[in-house]
Amino acid sequence: MKIGIIGLGLIGGSYARALFPYGYEVYGVDLNEESLNYAKEQGIISEGFTDPKDILKELDVVFLCLYPSQLKDFFKKYIMCFKEGAILSDVGGIKRKVIDAYDLYRRDDIDFVAAHPIAGKEKSGVTESDASIFKDANFIITKTPFNENDSINLIQTLAKQMGFKTVTIMTDKEHDEAISYTSQLTHVLAMALINSDQDKYHTKAIIGDSFRDLTRIANMNELLWSELFLQNKDFLLRSIHEFECALNTIKDAIEAKDIEELQSLMKKATIRRRSLDETKN
């Protein structure tokens, strides 16, 4: 099977590293020749191309590792270049607008299976790619009425081969609502926490693991994450509001010196957090 990866950044490069050992022919497409040369030297792609038209007609599966905002123009420009029967997939953190973009240029003889690998790290670029970031991670497929079961099954199989532990199938709306809480809100909180630092006591010298853990994801790709926030504005604002309500409940308990309420909220949080670990195991 011939697999194409459009965009050899962190995720695209990690996909290549994870899939190449299975014997697939993996082809990379990127405007940056240095990225292609690096991937070829590392032995994670069979060949690299700067022009998608040079390889798309040969590919059975194509992973579009681009920003969501780039996909509309990509579909418009290259939709007729894919081979008949090809399966396309993406890696973006929002789904409604991506599926809408594909619907504008839909072809009945190919299948677009929107997907979201819940994995990454704070650095970008193919030189930072690492297949281990997928180990035991979660993977979401947002199924549409147009998807063939065989296409869904193939993307699911490839996700398992890459190391993902749990593959969840849901609608694009369900995905965007859920991810506004589990991913986007957490980035908002990390950003707000570190930006609220007055550095009165030279913060770096007095922090511990709790502060480091909570602010780790504040090291963000601002181009990507500002796009994700705004394209999922409705659900993200709702999640922010719900968090504000929960925060105010804690604040009110502190102001009232209500130790029983505080302890009750802490116990509730402890039980919920432990349940996540139990599910993971």
Report the alpha-carbon distance of residue 248 to residue 265 in Å, rounded. 12
Report the alpha-carbon distance of residue 217 to residue 121 in Å, rounded. 8
Report the alpha-carbon distance of residue 45 to residue 37 in Å, rounded. 10
Kindly state the tokens that stand for 213: 């853990």
- H or E element at residue 112: strand 111-118
Can you say how many angstroms the Cα of residue 108 is from the centroid of all Cα atoms in its chain?
27
Backbone angles phi, psi at 148, to 5 degrees: -85, 145
Tell me what pLDDT residue 279 has: 54
Report the alpha-carbon distance of residue 257 to residue 251 in Å, rounded. 10
Report the alpha-carbon distance of residue 27 to residue 155 in Å, rounded. 17
Q: Burial letters for 156-173: b for 16+ Cβ neighbours within 10 Å, e otherwise?
A: bebbeebbbeebeebebe
Q: How many CA atoms lie within 13 A of 244 on its CB side?
A: 8
Query: Are 165 and 138 a contacting pair, CB within 8 Å?
Result: yes
Considering Cα of 276, then 246, then 254, then 215, what sign does the dihedral take?
positive
Report the alpha-carbon distance of residue 252 to residue 248 in Å, rounded. 6
DSSP label of 227? H
Q: Which 3 state secondary structure label does DSSP give 37?
A: helix
Tell me what pLDDT residue 22 has: 95
Q: Which segments of the chain have a pLDDT < 70?
A: 279-281
What domains are there in the chain, each with its CATH number?
Answer: 2-170 (3.40.50.720), 175-280 (1.10.3660.10)
User: Which residues share a beta bridge with 117?
Assistant: 139
Furthest-apart CA pair in the chain: how many Å? 68
Identity (one letter) of the amino acid at 239? S
Kindly state the tokens that stand for 114: 């929107």
DSSP label of 88? E
Report the alpha-carbon distance of residue 214 to residue 205 in Å, rounded. 17
**Given the structure tokens 């199989």, which residue do they identify?**
157
Can you say how many angstroms the Cα of residue 50 is from the centroid of all Cα atoms in its chain?
24
Query: Are 196 and 120 a contacting pair, CB within 8 Å?
Result: no
pTM over 0.85: yes
Residues 6+ apart with CB under 8 A from 261: 253
